[in-house]
A and B are shown apart, each in its own frame.
Chain A
């Protein structure tokens, strides 16, 4: 009982460790003097040298890495070089808009995928043109779709005059639609492929011959056999959601993780940057590991065929 659990943990934990090494190298092998970046360009050489010793930038690489790991494990992720706030608090402050956007966008994309596929199931005639149109949309770069959708959303909001309070989750209902549009196209076509597979299967024909109604066929045969596909598709689209979220946050000027990312990159704020990368990686690892465990197939690479779809961003 215990040993298999440990064995299954080795892989994700080692990846997490690899991610730490990666971010460590990102921040410590970077050209330019970190002490100089913190103090600004007109600080005196003496104070720069003093800060370098104080922050330990002069120690050997291994020692620096050890203290870096220690800080990560104890939850003290350093302070932002721009705002001087602790990194975790900085990220926590910017997290709510991004989480709301991601949450609603996930709901939308799953909802749209299910709805469109239900419609195609009931009216098979529209299936071909609809899926062809969606595939056309998938061929476009995700950011163009997100920007176009965001602009359309702004127009719509201005036209209806409906502007909710920026603090409440309701204000993200419409912008999340812009985030969800592209992933929804991808997920709809993936789910359609799965549905076609089920429709061609003997057990579907058996259920039909057995007198199931359309509703029963959908709810009791198609859906239970497609949850795994839908979930995998969602997991693979998360990175795309992150990408679209940044674009949409930029268009709507939300104070989300995307804004923080832009700020920390333009200011070379390495602690915040590595914090974002680490948290992002940890989140992805957890979701991926859970989805793999959920499917019950440990090991690498389940979703691999020549997918005519961009599965990863």
Chain B
């Protein structure tokens, strides 16, 4: 392991940042890789004679009422849903960091009050309700969904960054380094950013199942991706209505969903462990 000593030489905070960046990169790569794995012909090609086949060695998740391969549809759906997740997180993370840090630095003064007011406003209504309402008005489609989800999901993370910033700025090490003449920019890049980014990222990672849930409930409202394109949650809801005759329709996508969410949760848990070790 040649990377081990190199990793060890980095400070704890930097190592955490590496973790966060790596998991973000993974989240970005995953939809592309999954999209490559899926076979578009099998996912969209209608073959009525093969309709509603139970799972077999060639069709792992069976086939749907139009004879399309449920496995490949689930893969396409995963890639579609993950793209929403990745886009939303990539938007929400910088927004929460910038706004949260600004509020924390100016705690109690007007910029903080404005930002905190907006955070509180977003918390007055369940996130999914806001997203669903805007999506209903703007119209269905996946193009706008990452923006929409990202623009509501930043609030809890920003709130976290704000309190962390206030706590860090009161810490002795920050006051000591300021007294030694470290410039505020350096305090920001060396202390504030490395100490607030990982918790913010972790809190966003924990919201991933929820983002997939929003994606799913949009399908329930008829606002998901346009019909031939599947989404993971949409497949589950479509499958549920045929649960008695063809349980594999919902079962397969559910399996992928569960593995995906457990994986992301596990990753977030690992990072959270180190964040907590670092702060105590």
User: Measuring CB to CB, which residues of chain A are less than 8 angstroms from any residue of chain B?
Assistant: 11, 14-15, 18-19, 22, 26-27, 30-31, 136, 138-144, 147, 151, 239-240, 242-243, 246-247, 250-251, 261-262, 265-266, 268, 270, 273, 276-277, 280-281, 284-285, 288, 300-301, 304, 306-313
Contacts of B236 on A, CB cut-off 8 Å?
143-144, 147
Is A142 in contact with B125, judged by CB distance below 8 angstroms?
A: no
The 6 A-B residue pairs with the shortest CB-CB distance, nearest first, are: A139-B265, A239-B126, A141-B209, A265-B136, A30-B137, A281-B124
Which residue on B lies nearest to A29, using beta carbons? B137
- The smallest beta-carbon distance between B165 and chain A, in angstroms, is 11
Interchain CA distance A22-B151 in the complex, whole Å: 14
Is A306 in contact with B210, judged by CB distance below 8 angstroms?
A: no
Q: A139-B261, A151-B243, A306-B203 are in contact. Are A313 and B128 (CB under 8 A)?
A: yes
Is B127 in contact with A239, judged by CB distance below 8 angstroms?
A: yes
Interchain CA distance A122-B119 in the complex, whole Å: 41
Is A310 in contact with B210, judged by CB distance below 8 angstroms?
A: yes
Is A285 in contact with B272, judged by CB distance below 8 angstroms?
A: no
Q: Which of B126, B136, B220 contacts A280 (CB 8 A)?
A: B126
Is B136 in contact with A300, judged by CB distance below 8 angstroms?
A: no
Interchain CA distance A288-B126 in the complex, whole Å: 13
Is B120 in contact with A243, judged by CB distance below 8 angstroms?
A: no
- The smallest beta-carbon distance between A20 and chain B, in angstroms, is 11
Chain A contact residues, majority secondary structure: helix
Is A144 in contact with B258, judged by CB distance below 8 angstroms?
A: yes
User: Measuring CB to CB, which residues of chain B are less than 8 angstroms from any residue of chain A?
Assistant: 116-117, 119-121, 123-130, 132-134, 136-139, 155-156, 159-160, 162-163, 199, 202-203, 206-207, 209-210, 212-213, 216-217, 220-223, 233, 236-237, 240, 243, 254, 257-258, 261-262, 265-266, 268-269, 272, 275-276
- The smallest beta-carbon distance between A151 and chain B, in angstroms, is 6
Interchain CA distance A246-B216 in the complex, whole Å: 12
Contacts of B159 on A, CB cut-off 8 Å?
300-301, 304
Chain B contact residues, majority secondary structure: helix
Contacts of A247 on B, CB cut-off 8 Å?
217, 220
Contacts of B206 on A, CB cut-off 8 Å?
307-310
Which residue on B lies nearest to A267, using beta carbons? B136
Question: Which of A27, A246, A284, A312: most chain B CB closer than 10 A?
Answer: A312
Contacts of A262 on B, CB cut-off 8 Å?
220-222
Contacts of B254 on A, CB cut-off 8 Å?
144
Contacts of B258 on A, CB cut-off 8 Å?
140, 144
Which residue on A lies nearest to B127, using beta carbons? A313
Interchain CA distance A285-B222 in the complex, whole Å: 29
Contacts of A261 on B, CB cut-off 8 Å?
129, 132, 221
Q: Could you list 11 A-B pairs, sorted by A, with CB under 8 Å?
A: A14-B117, A18-B121, A30-B138, A151-B240, A243-B128, A268-B137, A277-B125, A277-B129, A306-B276, A307-B203, A313-B127
Is B262 in contact with A136, judged by CB distance below 8 angstroms?
A: yes
Contacts of B216 on A, CB cut-off 8 Å?
141, 143
Interchain CA distance A250-B34 in the complex, whole Å: 31
Is B240 in contact with A251, judged by CB distance below 8 angstroms?
A: yes
Q: A14-B117, A285-B124 are in contact. Are A301 and B272 (CB under 8 A)?
A: no
Q: A139-B262, A143-B233, A243-B213 are in contact. Are A15 and B240 (CB under 8 A)?
A: no
Interchain CA distance A151-B233 in the complex, whole Å: 16
Q: A14-B117, A250-B220, A313-B126 are in contact. Are A141 and B162 (CB under 8 A)?
A: no
Is B137 in contact with A26, judged by CB distance below 8 angstroms?
A: yes
Contacts of A300 on B, CB cut-off 8 Å?
116, 119-120, 159
Q: A147-B236, A301-B159, A307-B203 are in contact. Are A280 and B137 (CB under 8 A)?
A: no
Interchain CA distance A136-B259 in the complex, whole Å: 11
Contacts of A144 on B, CB cut-off 8 Å?
236, 254, 257-258
Is A243 in contact with B209, judged by CB distance below 8 angstroms?
A: no
Interchain CA distance A31-B210 in the complex, whole Å: 28
Contacts of A306 on B, CB cut-off 8 Å?
160, 199, 202-203, 272, 275-276
Is A265 in contact with B132, judged by CB distance below 8 angstroms?
A: yes
Contacts of A143 on B, CB cut-off 8 Å?
213, 216-217, 233, 236
